[in-house]
Amino acid sequence: MQTVSLGRKAFLAVTYTFLCLLAVLCLFPLIHVLAISFSSSSEASAGSVKFWPVDFTIQSYTYILRKPEFLRSFVVTIERVIIGTSVSMILTVLMAYPLSKEPKVFKLRTYYVWYFVFTILFSGGLIPWYMTIKFTGLLNTIWALVLPGGVAVFHIILLLNFFRGLPKELEEAVFIDGSGHWGALWKIYVPLSMPALATIALFTIVHHWNSWFDGLLLMNSPEKYPLSSYLQTIIIDNNLANVRDEDVSSLVAVSDRTAKAAQIFLGALPILLIYPFLQRFFVKGIILGSVKE
């Protein structure tokens, strides 16, 4: 049985302690926001809330969940995440597979790769991007939030490198059985690439969930804002001009600070629930998908 030296044990102890402290420090802001959201408006306004709710109440969440604007924007974001992630994953897989082949199999492979890399370094700018979406008729539709970012070059590079790391013998066996490239893609490459696909899916979900700027530009009416765009208008602009009469009584028990904290936490909650299920694929997908090009 292999023994661990005293120096090795000390190194592991220091490393684990440091990582645990770092994890706790990363959690402090979220815990603070959560504590404020469950505190009374007077205590939150006085700044007496740290990491534990003071004068516990759920009035902020009751007020937020009763707002049709918040629920409507939440539904828009769910729709955007589902459609956007599906479109992005399909396009990424279909583009990464041919680009993962050797130049002798796909002669123009190198040119296409550099063509996509060029788009990372240079872009047309904000105004041409907006005008393109406008003249294609996508403005003020859910597709304006999905299609312009449907292809992420980083995701393609990550996945094609993962594809290139798979044994070529598996693909040759599929070809011998009579299947072509389409069969090899869906029978071999996709099932064996779940770590990379889960990583890309996580990146895409987080992008669509947190993106707010395009919603403000591409949606003509606040009723079509995704959640992040709606939260930006409420939290940053602090616009209370549209407060309904039935909400006035609730504002007595809910301060601006507690309402913002509740909305921020509700906005982050779905990602916090999804991440643990994909985390075990995350590190493996990043490492294996970035080792060579």
So what's the pLDDT on residue 293?
45
Q: Are 80 and 208 in contact (CB under 8 A)?
A: yes
So what's the pLDDT on residue 290?
45
Both tokens assigned to 186:
């869906």
Q: Are 68 and 88 in contact (CB under 8 A)?
A: no
Residue 138: DSSP 8-state? -
Under DSSP, is residue 224 helix (H, G, I), strand (E, B) or coil? helix
- Listed in sequence order, the residues at least 6 apart from 241 whose beta carbon sits closer than 8 Å to its beta carbon are none
pTM listed for this prediction: 0.77
So what's the pLDDT on residue 250?
53
Alpha-helical regions (H) of the chain: 6-37, 41-46, 59-65, 68-99, 109-121, 126-135, 143-146, 153-164, 168-176, 181-184, 190-192, 194-210, 213-218, 227-235, 245-253, 256-288
Both tokens assigned to 75:
């539904």
Q: Which of 56, 50, 52 is nearest to 38 (CA)?
A: 56
**What are the C-alpha distances in Å from 120 to residues 152, 156, 198, 241?**
9, 12, 22, 41
* Class level of CATH domain 60-288: mainly alpha
- DSSP secondary structure string for all residues of 70-87: HHHHHHHHHHHHHHHHHH
Phi, psi of 286 (to 5 degrees): -65, -45
Both tokens assigned to 260:
């913002």
Q: Which of 7, 45, 113, 111 is nearest to 258 (CA)?
A: 45
CA distance 179 to 171: 9
pLDDT in tens, the chain (293 residues): 456 677 778 888 888 899 889 888 888 888 888 888 888 777 777 777 788 888 888 888 888 888 888 888 889 999 999 999 999 999 999 999 999 888 888 888 888 888 888 888 888 888 889 999 989 988 999 999 999 888 888 899 888 888 888 888 888 888 887 778 888 888 888 888 888 888 888 889 888 988 888 888 899 888 889 988 888 887 666 544 455 544 555 555 567 778 778 888 888 888 878 777 766 665 554 545 444 44
Phi, psi of 185 (to 5 degrees): -65, -50
CB atoms within 10 A of CB 57: 18
Domain ranges of the chain: 60-288
Both tokens assigned to 162:
């993962």
Residues in the chain, overall count: 293
Under DSSP, is residue 285 helix (H, G, I), strand (E, B) or coil? helix
Both tokens assigned to 209:
């969930």
Under DSSP, is residue 95 helix (H, G, I), strand (E, B) or coil? helix
- Listed in sequence order, the residues at least 6 apart from 102 whose beta carbon sits closer than 8 Å to its beta carbon are 109
